[in-house]
Structure formats: structure tokens, C-alpha cells
Amino acid sequence: MMDLEVLQRNILSRVTANASRLADACPHVAKNGTYDDERIDWWTSGFWPGMLWIAYDLTGRTLFRDAAWPYDERMERRFLEPNRFHHDVGFQYLPTAVIKFKLTGDEDARRRGLFAANFLAGRFNIAGGFLRAWNEVSDPTAWNRNNAGWAIIDSMMNLPLLFWASEELGDPRFRHVAMAHADTVLRRFVREDGSVAHIASFDPATGAFLGWIGGQGFGPDSDWSRGAAWALYGMAVAHRFTGVTRYAEASRRIADFFLSSLEENGVPLWDFRVVPREGEPPDTSAAACAASGLLELAEALPGLAGRAYRDAAIRLLASLDAGYARWDDPADQALLRGATGHRPAGQNVNVSLIYGDYFFFEAVAKLTGWERRIF
Ligand code: GLY
């Protein structure tokens, strides 16, 4: 039986050790327990400072606040140079600028969060009703060239930046964009059985739907497990901000498919429909994100229904803790092993990924009573 207080203590002691070990780095991938240092404009740069802000909110210890403080300013500076910011600015600015503003009232952080919301809203394709994924690709041989009409499931987790901006400014424009995109995701990505597509392609000029692309999943008709987790969580959050039941219903359908597709050890493979399955790696980052999303879904549903999703989240976290955490190795910088970044490209397979660590910590914090929300 997992003891949540002990688990949170283990996590906090690793975050404390990392606050000096990782210093001002942008960790993304750890192989054998040692994190790399990515660029500040990469989509994963918000997760480590996000862990520091959660740790600060839980403990009040200023060492966490001081370590997290500079990240949103560094992101803002990077916007003035050639950069790789895209549809994932929500992943970068919600766990930095926006939470910093909520916790400290820092007006510069608020301005940066609103700037990022404007950048994200500016990616909306009115003809197709979707937020554009990624940026222009100059390499004519790249798999993702000609992507002006692409939308991806990951974007669901960036919508809270738009919902927050509407609330902050008392201006519904951002919320209109977020709901239009979420409705396109409902129509084009979420299947009847609760599985989801990764990429939908539209004609960027007319908005006509062209078809699905496998992307980070096994194929156009498969179910990339981290994409499913992004959708499960993102739909639950869209419901929290809007009260619109179709979003909670979609989250529930996705959750049911996710939970019925786990391996015997309670953790998903990187794609629920990969064939053959033998020897395929797990993705613990999908499990961690789904666990935190299930806790949001549980909040949306009354009585026993909500209770069942909360219990499912606890079971996921217990499987991760039992099978993929290394608390007995103080040199390990990561919280979880067994995460998979991009299996079709052979990138970051069976490693530690900072977003897996982030959502693991976030979910455990929610269960121990942390009430603030980043996403
Ligand atoms: N947002 C990209 C991923 O989930 O790998």
C-alpha cells in the first residue's frame, strides 16, 4: 500500500537536491538518472521550474521560489531572438509566468503570461477552427514539412493559458478560441470508443479536413498513450473552466479507454494499439499525466463516479512508485524511469522525461491537499 505522505517526502527531497544540482538548467531527458540541459525555448522548459513552484507552494521554502524565479524572464528574452516557441507555450508559461504571478503577484510575470496567451491565440486558424501545431519546417525531407494545416492532441493542455487570460482580463476572446479548438478536437480527434488521434490535417486555406497522421503514435488509427493523457486531462480542465458537460463526457470516455488498456503492471505501453506488443516500451509519462488528469475528472463528477476515477489515479501512481521510482539512489535526479518520448523516431525511448516527473509530483501534491492549479 502506497503511503502518500512518504511518497511526497521522497519527491520533495529529490526536488531539494536538484535545486542545487540542476541550478538554472532546462532539464528534458535523463538517461540513467542524470538530466540534460535543453534550450529555454524548447517546449519542456517550464516543467522543472513548475516543480519548484509546487514545492514552494507546499512548503513556503524560499530556496524553491528563488530557483524558479528567473525562468519566465529568460523565456521572454528568447522571444526576441530566433526561437522554437509554438503551440506548446502553455506548457512553458503556465508553470512559470502564470503560477509565479498567482503565488507572488509579480506584475512582470502577469504581463509575460498574457503575452504568451496572445501568441497562442494568434495561431488560431479561423477557417478550420483549430490552433496550428508547430512552425514552418525548412528541411524538404522532414516528416513534418507542409504542416500549416496541422493540429495536434497535445494542444489540449495549452488551452488553460487561454482560459486564464480571459479570466484575468475579463475578455472572452481567448475563451472563444479555446472552446472552438476544443470542439474541433471533439469532432476530429476523439473517437467513439475513447481512443484519440495524434495529428489531424486540414487545408489551411479552406479549413477542410484532410485526414489523420500517426505522428508520435503507431499509426493514424492508433492511440498514442501520452496523447490520450493530454486529451483526458485537457478535456477535464476545459470542463472546469467552462462548465460545459460535453468536455467532461469526452474526458470520461478517454479515461475509460485508457484505464482498460493498461498492461498487467498497471502502466501503459507508449501506444495502446501498437502491434506486435512484445518488447515495446512503456510510457510512464503518459501514466503520470493521466493520473493528474483523472484527479481533475474526479472533481468534475459527483459521488461514486468521481471516487472511481480518484481511485484509478491512486492505482496508477502506486504502479509508478513501485515499478519506476528509485528512491534508494540519491544520485538519481529523476523521479521516474520508463518514459518514452518519440518511439517512431527512436528518440528518448525508456528514459526519464521531465514532464513525467512534473505530472507525477503534481498528482501526488493534489492528493495530499494542494489546491492551487497550474493547468
Ligand atoms: N508535446 C509533445 C509530446 O508530448 O511529446
Q: Count of domains in the chain?
A: 1
Spatial neighbors of 13 by CB under 8 A, at least 6 apart, are none
The model's confidence at residue 371, banded by pLDDT at 50, 70 and 90, is very high
Q: Per residue in 36-66, pLDDT tens?
A: 999 999 999 999 999 999 999 999 999 999 9
Establish if 66 belongs to a structural domain: yes
Establish if 309 belongs to a structural domain: yes
Is 311 in the active site? Answer: no
The model's confidence at residue 143, banded by pLDDT at 50, 70 and 90, is confident
Q: How many angstroms separate the first and last alpha carbons of the chain? A: 28
Q: Per residue in 322-365, pLDDT tens?
A: 999 999 999 999 999 999 999 999 999 999 999 999 999 999 99
SS (H, E, C) 168-201: HHCCCHHHHHHHHHHHHHHHHCECCCCCECCEEE
Establish if 372 belongs to a structural domain: no
Cα 323 to ligand 1 centroid, rounded to whole Å: 23
Average pLDDT value for the chain: 97
Q: Please state, in angstroms and rounded to a whole number, the distance separating the CA atoms of residues 320 and 311.
A: 14
Establish if 183 belongs to a structural domain: yes
Beta bridge partners of 224: 271
Establish if 375 belongs to a structural domain: no
Establish if 201 belongs to a structural domain: yes
Establish if 373 belongs to a structural domain: no
Q: Per residue in 164-180, pLDDT tens?
A: 999 999 999 999 999 99
CATH of the domain at 78: 1.50.10.10
Q: For residues 130 and 184, is the Cβ–Cβ distance under 8 A?
A: yes
pLDDT of 145 above 80: yes
Establish if 374 belongs to a structural domain: no
Any atom of ligand 1 within 6 Å of the Cβ of 226: yes
Q: Per residue in 234-249, pLDDT tens?
A: 999 999 999 999 999 9
Largest CA distance in the chain: 56
The pTM assigned to this predicted structure is 0.98
The model's confidence at residue 280, banded by pLDDT at 50, 70 and 90, is very high
Any atom of ligand 1 within 6 Å of the Cβ of 88: yes
Q: Whole domain around residue 360: which residue ranges?
A: 4-367
Any atom of ligand 1 within 6 Å of the Cβ of 154: yes
- Calculate what percentage of the chain has a pLDDT beyond 90: 97
Q: What is the pLDDT of residue 23?
A: 87
| Catalytic choice (41, 57, 72, 88) | 88
Q: Which atom of ligand 1 is nearest to the CA of 226?
A: 4
Question: Which among 316, 270, 257, 311 is positioned nearest to 290, based on CA atoms?
Answer: 316
Beta bridge partners of 342: 347
Is 88 in the active site? Answer: yes
> How many residues can be counted in the chain?
375
Dihedral angle computed from the Cα positions of residues 91, 214, 341 and 162, in that order, rounded to the nearest 10 degrees: 0
Among 29, 44, 87, 216, name the best residue to mutate to test ligand 1's pocket (greatest count of ligand atoms within 8 A of Cβ).
216
Q: Please state, in angstroms and rounded to a whole number, the distance separating the CA atoms of residues 218 and 222.
A: 6
